[in-house]
Amino acid sequence: MLNQPATASPIISLEHIDVTLTASAGPVEILRNLSLEVTPGKALGIVGPSGSGKTTLLMVLAGLEAINKGKSVICGHDLTVMNEDQLASFRRDHIGIVFQSFHLIPTMTALENVAVPLEFKATANADQLAASALERVGLAHRLTHYPGQLSGGEQQRVAIARAISAGADIILADEPTGNLDSATGKTIMELLFTLQRENNTTLLLVTHDHDLADKCDEICEVRDGRIISARVPA
Ligand SMILES: Nc1ncnc2c1ncn2[C@@H]1O[C@H](COP(=O)(O)OP(=O)(O)O)[C@@H](O)[C@H]1O
Ligand SMILES: [Mg+2]
């Protein structure tokens, strides 16, 4: 990122990465020669037109999308040399993801939605940890509710609780307010920024909302699979 002290070692380091997907019409270059460094504890806003590669970039950082070229080192792990099992444990240990459409399991309660990934991690007291994460996002009174019984804002709070409950180092938020009305979206973002500061988490926030991006420590703009600018908000 810009203006970082020379001594700060980045938590995210992408060097000249390419992502090329094969479509029926032939190969499509999704990310091209993209490099990015993020200092721990910072919030990076990512803006850019639809289809420019923002979601793909987050998926690369989560180890959910493979790169075809370049180097990707996240939390000290070189993702390019890891197999699927190693990538899955990397995600469990380091990454929390918040999606626009919440991605909760409809047949599970709020508590179960948060606890299940913790159980995969073989965490002792998964239920207690999940309950405390839900309490932290203001949902102590909704533990046994199903997603269908919750408002959009409450569902996103569950998703945030799930993302933070295992102590993720990096939160990837892909248009987290995109399905919420503006007042609810604002509250959700205040919550995300507060948790980020309290936990000293690194946050990557994809958003169409430039006012929201301005609340980040830095903003980069993606276009046609490349980062075309990076700046500190005024
Ligand atoms: N699985 C896929 N196969 C082929 N093209 C894809 C696939 N996923 C995404 N794309 C294309 O990659 C480009 C970037 O997509 P995406 O990362 O979702 O952009 P954004 O999040 O900025 O809207 C788009 O042109 C999209 O159509
Ligand atoms: Mg997207």
3-state secondary structure of 170: strand
Average pLDDT of each block of 10 consecutive residues along the chain (234 residues)?
64 98 92 97 97 98 97 97 96 96 97 93 88 96 98 97 95 96 94 96 96 96 96 91
Q: What tokens appear for 207 in the block?
A: 């958003």
Q: What is the pTM of this model?
A: 0.94
Among the atoms of ligand 1, which is closest to the Cα of residue 206? Answer: 21
- Report yes or no on 30 lying in a domain: no
Residues within a 6 A CB radius of ligand 1? 21, 23, 28, 30, 48, 50-56
**Could you list the residue range(s) of the whole structural domain that residue 116 is in?**
42-63+84-231
Number of domains in the chain: 1
- Report yes or no on 224 lying in a domain: yes
- Report yes or no on 143 lying in a domain: yes
pLDDT at 204: 98
**Cα 110 from Cα 49, distance rounded (Å):** 33
Report how far ligand 2's centroid is from the alpha carbon of 144 (Å).
31
**Cα 210 from Cα 2, distance rounded (Å):** 19
- Report yes or no on 32 lying in a domain: no
Domain of residue 215, CATH code? 3.40.50.300
Is the CB of residue 170 less than 8 Å from the CB of residue 74? yes
- Report yes or no on 72 lying in a domain: no
* Neighbouring residues of the ion ligand 2, judged by CB less than 5 Å: 55
- Report yes or no on 226 lying in a domain: yes
pLDDT at 232: 94
Proximal ligand: closest to the CA of 178: 2
Phi-psi region of 138 (alpha: psi -120 to 50; beta: other; left: phi over 0): left
- Report yes or no on 10 lying in a domain: no
- Report yes or no on 215 lying in a domain: yes
Is the CB of residue 17 less than 8 Å from the CB of residue 34? yes
pLDDT at 114: 97
pLDDT at 98: 97
pLDDT at 182: 92
